[in-house]
Amino acid sequence: MKKSTLFVALSFALLTSGAMAQEIAIGIKAGPNFAKLDANSSIAANYSNRTGWHGGAFVLFRGERVGFQPEIIFSQQGTKFNYSGSPDVKSNFNYVNVPLIFKLYTIAGLNLQVGPQIGFLTSAKLEQPNTTEDVKSQLKSTDFSLGLGVGWDLPFGLSIDARYNLGLSDNSDGLTTASGAKVTDIKNQVFQVSAGFKLFKFGNTK
């Protein structure tokens, strides 16, 4: 998607949501990540979750049944893997993500969540027991994924979210392991649990 098209779509969503919102809230959120890469390499590799964290800010435009919540989130991602009996290798990929989440409210503040996410790579390293390699230049600078989740808006401005970010784009740009194995079709897979708090609320704050 061209940047101009994305900007127009985002502007339209923000204007529409702002005009229809009964409540507008600004808040912060944070929590753990359980991240893994869906990847292919020229040799067999076993991939496992890497635990990290995420944190950032959000703006919620909420109507009676629907809401729109754009966010800016720093996120630690990547995976752990080993191959041919080698020691574990950690891929530590850090992103600034911009989820555009649509929320469908059911009862008692419970909601279903879905929306696109674009991520901007800030750093990428492969860590082995005795070496650390910077591989940012071997990865694409932007990542696209789809967020799917559930949430619960609690009293006093608190919220809890559980979201799975399904990677859609191949992020490899010539990435190889320390042994020279080529890695392709890298897609981020991240499960997040978040606790949030609304710092400011405007409009109907029931």
Q: Please tell me the predicted confidence (pLDDT) of residue 87.
A: 61
Q: Which residues of the chain have pLDDT under 50?
A: 1, 18-19, 42-43
Per-residue model confidence as pLDDT tens digits over 2-39: 555 555 555 555 555 544 568 899 999 999 999 988 77
Burial 129-162 (b: 16+ CB within 10 A, else e): eeeeeebeebbeeebbbebebebebeeeeebbbe
Per-residue model confidence as pLDDT tens digits over 46-61: 777 889 999 999 999 9
Q: Kindly report the backbone phi and psi dihedral angles of residue 164, in degrees, each rounded to the nearest multiple of 5, phi listed first.
A: -115, 120
Architecture of domain 3-203: Beta Barrel (2.40)
Q: Please tell me the predicted confidence (pLDDT) of residue 188.
A: 92
Q: Please tell me the predicted confidence (pLDDT) of residue 81.
A: 75
Q: Please tell me the predicted confidence (pLDDT) of residue 167.
A: 93
Q: Please tell me the predicted confidence (pLDDT) of residue 6.
A: 53
pTM of the full structure: 0.83
Q: Please tell me the predicted confidence (pLDDT) of residue 1.
A: 47
Strand runs (DSSP E) across 12-157, as ranges? 23-41, 46-48, 50-62, 66-82, 89-105, 110-127, 132-134, 142-153
Could you give the maximum distance between any two Cα atoms of the chain, in Å?
Answer: 59
Domain coordinates in residue numbering, the chain: 3-203
Q: Please tell me the predicted confidence (pLDDT) of residue 16.
A: 56
Structure tokens at 141: 């600078």
